[in-house]
Amino acid sequence: MRQMSAIILAAGKGTRMKSDLPKVLHGLGHKPMIEYVLSAVREAGIDDLCIVVGHGADEVRTTLGGEYLYAVQEPQLGTGHAVQQALPVFSKPCDSTMVLCGDTPLLTAATLNKLKTYFETSDAACTVMSAVLPQGGSYGRIIRDSRNEVEAIVEEKDATIEQLAIREINSGVYCFKIKALREAISRIKPNNAQGEYYLTDVIQEIRKRGGKVNAYVCQDSEEILGVNDRYQLAVIAKALRQRKTRDLMLSGVTIVDPDTVYIDDDVEIGTDCLIEPNVYIEGACKIGSGCHIGPSVKMVDTVMGKNCEIGPFCYLRPGVVLADKVKAGHFVEIKKSQIGKGSKVPHLSYIGDTIIGEGVNIGCGTITCNYDGKNKHNTIIEDEVFIGSNTNLVAPVKVGYRSTVAAGSTVTDDVPENTLAIARNRQCNIVGWTFQRDPRFAKKDEE
Ligand code: UD1
Ligand code: MG
């Protein structure tokens, strides 16, 4: 099998986004759009990746990190010029390369694999991935010759009226034999409506030198959709969400109303979970089987075991780790805390920077006071503790094994094991004391 690398084009400005942020870094479900392309390429078994950066190059590199090769294109003179910058960057020798754009996040590894197989089993020097659309729009049109091979790709801006009627369009994804690409790319010229070096012009150059170019028609034309403006960003975000909820439902998760649920791409959810409406599960959440979540819950980077009960109206912030059978109920916010097996925080609480053991009950309205205005402090609540309602736990503080805190306490000192802590004023009853009424209301009361 031939060794294949990939070049991802991401140097363009993305003018229509009207943004200071480079286009490929705009988020889809809290992940930059280019990450979806990179994942699909790697999932298709291609690890030798070069990203062409230009506009906002430093920001793109910083965000994506050091695991990729980068080529800098400055100035940006077109897609052909961009590929030219990437060719010298590969350190390992490769026979062929796949070229993609960083702004087409719906491409799947399965489709890229089909393209790769189509290319590798043909004798073509280039395979273009095409799609047939109801209308060609602003995409390049595929011109085929009498043998049905690809003769050229004509950009919308350069096309004749007859060519504009062609509905088979260029997806912007290609496989090339690297030798043919190298030879052809040095010959392209910016003689077109946009004055750019078009990558699509290499097709004629390859053919002039006897190379064959064919097209693999992508069956699901939705996959090739690109993001050019923020409206398309929202359309694609929705398509990705639908894909995610469908995958989860088919793998055994019940989602009552998928249209109201926002689950990020990397989230893992076990079988027999029930997700109610208006739930946001973001970042790298991992949810065990049999959990009941919602309605109206938001969680970010949360890990939970099996059979947990979350919500309604619960907010779990990053760093929350829940063991099996934990309950976090109504209007409960938890941040950077671990909660042990079977423990419950059922109502109206804030728990932050806390370690809670197993079998603990946290009474309604309990607050961990974790912030003194300068620093955050930790609270430790050991196994089988009972915290009475409306307790303030002023951190740093520890409540020992099997202890109880009386309702309404403000706990500032550690509580040893097997102890009852009462930290509130003792009630005082003054017998015979009556409230002196305002005489102005006396008449009204008599009526
Ligand atoms: C390109 C194709 C068109 C195809 C369409 C598919 C060309 C000439 N045309 O058009 O046939 O139908 O994609 O979406 O290739 N980029 C650079 N450097 C540059 C210019 C662009 O890296 O100098 C990158 C962009 O960041 C983007 C990608 O290349 O990720 C495509 O560029 P774009 O300007 O969107 O090309 P299209 O006009 O859409
Ligand atoms: Mg484009």
**Which CATH number belongs to the domain containing residue 146 in this structure?**
3.90.550.10
CA 209 to centroid of ligand 1, rounded, Å: 25
CA distance 332 to 345: 7
244 and 376 part of one domain: yes
Q: Evaluate whether residue 61 is within a structural domain.
A: yes
Question: Ligand 2 centroid to 55 CA: how many Å?
Answer: 15
Verify that 203 and 280 share a domain, yes or no: no
Domain boundary among 200, 224, 248: 224
pTM above 0.85, yes or no: yes
**224, 247, 269 - which closes a domain:** 224
**Which ligand approaches the C-alpha of residue 78 most closely?**
1
396 and 274 together in one domain: yes
Asked whether residue 376 is assigned to any structural domain, the reply reads: yes
Residues forming the active site: 347
Same domain, 220 and 244: no
Final residue of a structural domain among 224, 239, 270: 224
Q: How far apart are the C-alpha atoms of 109 and 117, rounded to whole Å?
A: 12
Tokens of 133: 């659309």
Q: Which residues of the chain have pLDDT under 50?
A: none
Tell me what pLDDT residue 443 has: 62
Q: Residue 112 in contact with residue 41, Cβ under 8 Å?
A: yes
pLDDT at res. 92 = 79
Domain hosting 17: range is 4-224
Give the pLDDT of residue 2.
59
What per-residue confidence (pLDDT) applies to 90? Answer: 84
Q: What is the number of the ligand 1 atom nearest to the C-alpha of 102?
A: 30
Q: How is residue 199 written in tokens?
A: 């990558």
Ligand nearest to the CA of 10: 1
Looking at ligand 1, which atom is closest to the CA of residue 101?
30
55 shares its domain with 193: yes
User: What is the strand order of the sheet 292-293 is part of?
Assistant: 254-255, 274-275, 292-293, 309-310, 327-330, 344-347, 361-362, 386-387, 404-405, 420-421
pLDDT score recorded for residue 320: 98
In a domain, 426, yes or no: no
> Are residues 235 and 209 both part of a single domain?
no
Nearest-ligand number for the alpha carbon of 9? 1
**162 belongs to a structural domain:** yes
- Take residue 359 and report the two structure tokens written for it: 């079998």
- Ligand 1 site-directed mutation target among 19, 70, 79, 205, most atoms within 8 Å of CB: 79
Q: Domain check: are 209 and 294 in the same one? A: no
Q: Ligand 1 pocket: which residues have CB below 6 Å?
A: 9-12, 52, 54, 73, 76-79, 81-82, 101-103, 139-140, 153, 155, 169-172, 198-200, 226
Same domain, 48 and 136: yes
The tokens for 222 are: 């939705």
Residue 61 parent element (H or E): helix 57-64
Q: Domain check: are 191 and 235 in the same one?
A: no
- 430 belongs to a structural domain: no
The count of structural domains within the chain is 2
Do both 247 and 371 map to the same domain?
yes
Q: How big is the chain, counted in residues?
A: 447
- Nearest CA residue ID for atom 28, ligand 1: 101
Q: Is 6 buried (19+), middle (13-18) or exposed (0-12) by CB count in 10 A?
A: buried
37 within a domain of the structure (yes/no)? yes
Residues 236 and 220 in one domain: no
Q: Are residues 191 and 244 in the same domain?
A: no
Q: Note the pLDDT tens digit of each residue in 131-188.
A: 999 999 999 999 999 999 999 999 999 999 999 999 999 999 999 999 999 999 999 9
Nearest CA to ligand 1 atom 13: 172
From 101, 135, 163, 169, give the residue whose CB has the most ligand 1 atoms within 8 Å, as the site to mutate: 101
Residue 69 lies in a domain: yes
